[in-house]
Amino acid sequence: MSVLPLDAADEVATEPVPPARRRGVPGFLRRPGGVFGAAWLVFIIVASLTAPLWRPYEVTEQDTANRLALPSADHWFGTDPLGRDLLSRIFTAGSLPLLSSALMLVVAFGIGLPLALLAAERGRKVERVTSRSTEVLMALPGTILLLAVIGVIGNRLYPVMAILGVLISAAVYRVMLGVAQSVRQRLYIDAARVNGLGSLRVNLLHVLPSMATVVAVQAAQLFGIGLLIVAGLAFLGFGPGEPEPSWGFMIQDASGHLFDAPWLLVPTGVVLALTVVAANELADAIAGKKADKVPARRKERLPVAVADTAPADPSAVLEVRDLSVAVDDGPQLVTGVSFALRPGTVLGLVGESGCGKTMTARSLMGLLPDGVSVSGGSIRWQGRELVGLSEKELTAVRGREIAMISQEPMVALDPMFSIAYQLVGPIRRFRGVGRGAARKIAAELLRNVGIVDAERVLKSYPHQLSGGMAQRVCIALALTGEPELLIADEPTTALDVTVQAEILSLLRALVHDTGLSVVIVSHDLGVVADICDDVAVMYAGAVVESGTAAAVLDDPSHPYTMALLGANPHVPEGEPVPLRLASIPGTVPPPGSWPTGCRFASRCQFARDECTAPFPALPAHGSGSVLCIRVDDLASTHATWDAEPVGAETVADAVAEPAPTAGVS
């Protein structure tokens, strides 16, 4: 779980909300592989340990008339070269590899796990000592050491496997250290420490449970490896001596009869293979607990019913009409979104998380996540319809005509390559120039985005840049194809206010100097006021109010816009800070549970009965619109969105409905 970007819900909303946790049944048992693995392991363990109680023959009992027999009613699995019953021998032999592998696991985790927890807790100094010690262990040649140990102490499998456990503990430590360190970064660990929990309890209650999955996966895999090692040792003759049965020796025995009695290999081989496969299947099932969702393959684009294609606004460079975006075979994420962008202007898409602004912006470039697609409406770019274009046709548009910058500049740049490398590639591709010319253009682009020492920045790698500098580089990268439209998804959210102001100034200068058009996605009304000419306020997948930024922000018509403005603590100059800020009760309804009428009605101070029936958007702010049936009432009464009275927040109210964010964690 990483730090959540502000707009994460926009991404998350595309995944179906998982069903509430089913009590009692662990997740891995809901997968066929997990059921098989767990069932077989339980069976083989129980059958092996109880074999002396039920086996049909003693392990040394010889049926000399039936040597190397095939399965029969007397001998279900057949017999070996001495006429001994294979069924009895296989299951009697099982307890030794199973128990000694378990012992190896206990030793390996008994050493590796506490060391890892200790090193993660105590930090660098302790970690350096433990890591170096385990490196020494890992450097030892395991097989040779094991054979040497057998030479000294003899064929005693339990001590040998315990020593193998010590050797493997180094590898366990390595894996567990990484997990423990990342778990300790989580804030609930700090919160527990501030609460005064001792080191042991922090580890037992908070760190270990979060590592449980990795521990289980590792254990199941190592168990399988342990079984193979025990069998291998017995195969080489380092197992229990004849006449005691062992899997390894039985396989070795069978290999001598490959041509005259091939069946002999089958029962032992299948049981050993099934046991190892079961351990690995179980590990996979436990590991897959989180990552089981196979992403739906991107479907071939279905022909979408394109609405009336005559441009309504001839001056618009981009015109979106009745755009709908939906999860394939799932709920709609964006419905009936319309807006127009004039050349050389900036349009803001504004709203809270989960309102569909990012989905709308991404659909403009055909960059929707897998399993999500445009389900209706039209996107006209310079008179061309973008909805329904093939991936190839869209690639020609992306970068050259429409470019994009994202919220996290550091994620957008590849940490492995220098800035020069990352800029030169696209420049050569888009502009068809040589390497030297491309490098000159790259330096020029960096200077255009306000980077003074362009040559130094070209040579540096992303981690050497500050967040503001990285975002400037990302803007330069977006400009490599000389696009006419830039889509900026929360371009300043991750930056300090001072840096944000610089980036906004840069964008404004680009719009002014080059005639670039920009669609900017933001949750910050201040950013919208600073840079946007027009604004579309989105709520629950629909545009609830649109118009020029000045009209919408200075004179909001929709209650949602009023509430957002009231919630902003930046009061006008000279006014005192209010005692309480305006807020909106509850949360944005998730896609799929939108009501038929006004989607904001359940949270609206001004909602009436008539708000629950469907109604069309009304014209407002000149060329804009507003999606509120009571807009005239509210305007005539000069309604304002009022803050709740002092103390209201501490009264338990109806905010307890399960929130739609379960997919986040």
Partner 1 sequence: MTAPAGATAVSVVPPAPALEIRDLVVRYGSGRKARRTAPAIDGVSFDIAPGETVGLVGESGSGKSTIGKAVLGLQPPTSGTVRVQGQDITRMSLKQRSRQVADLRVVFQDPYSSLNPARTIGQTLVEPLALMGIKGTAAWEKARSGLESVGLPGEAVDRYPSQFSGGQRQRIAIARALVCDPKVVVLDEPVSALDLSTQAQVLNLLADLRDQRGLSFLFIAHDLGVVRFLSQRTVVLYRGQIMETGPVEAVSQAPRHPYTVALTSAAPVPRPAEQAARRAAREALGMGTAGAASASATGCPFVPRCPLATDVCAEQRPPLRLIDDSLTACHHAERVPAL
Minimal distance, residue 110 CB to partner 1, in Å = 23
Which CB, 367 or 664, lies closer to partner 1? 664
Helices (H), 236-366: 247-255, 265-287, 357-364
Select 636 or 650, whichever has its Cβ closest to partner 1. Answer: 650
Choice between 434 and 572, CB closer to partner 1:
572
DSSP state of 376: E
Nearer to partner 1, 22 or 297 (CB): 22
State in angstroms the smallest separation of the CB of 222 from partner 1. Answer: 24
CB of 201 to partner 1, least distance (A): 9
**Which residues are 547's β-sheet partners?**
535
Of 212, 210, 207, 247, nearest to 226 by C-alpha is: 247
Nearest distance in Å: CB 190, partner 1: 6
Say if residue 243 is preceded by a cis peptide, omega within 30 of 0. Answer: yes
Q: How far apart are CA 369 and CA 8, in angstroms?
A: 13
Local structure of residue 70 (DSSP, 8 states): P
Is the CB of 269 or the CB of 526 nearer to partner 1?
Answer: 526
Residue with token string 């740049």: 413
Query: CB of residue 565 vs partner 1: minimum separation in angstroms?
Result: 6
Residue 524 C-beta: closest distance to partner 1, Å: 7
CB of 532 to partner 1, least distance (A): 8
* 517-522 and 485-489 beta bridge pairing: parallel
Nearer to partner 1, 23 or 392 (CB): 23
CB of 68 closer than 8 Å to CB of 264: yes
Smallest separation (angstroms) from partner 1 to the CB of 627: 18
d(CA 247, CA 96): 9
Indicate the residue among 225 and 499 with the shorter CB distance to partner 1. Answer: 499
Do the Cβ atoms of 103 and 158 come closer than 8 Å? Answer: yes
Torsions phi, psi of 544, nearest 5? -95, -20
* DSSP conformation letters of 23-55: SSS-GGGGSHHHHHHHHHHHHHHHHHHTHHHH-
What residues have CB less than 8 Å from 49, skipping those under 6 apart? 95, 98
If the CB atoms of residues 91 and 600 are measured against partner 1, the closer one turns out to be: 600
Cα torsion angle, 563, 567, 568, 570, sign: positive
Which is closer to partner 1, CB of 197 or CB of 304? Answer: 197
Question: CA torsion sign, 585 to 586 to 587 to 589?
Answer: negative
Q: How far is the CB of 357 from partner 1 (least distance, A)?
A: 12
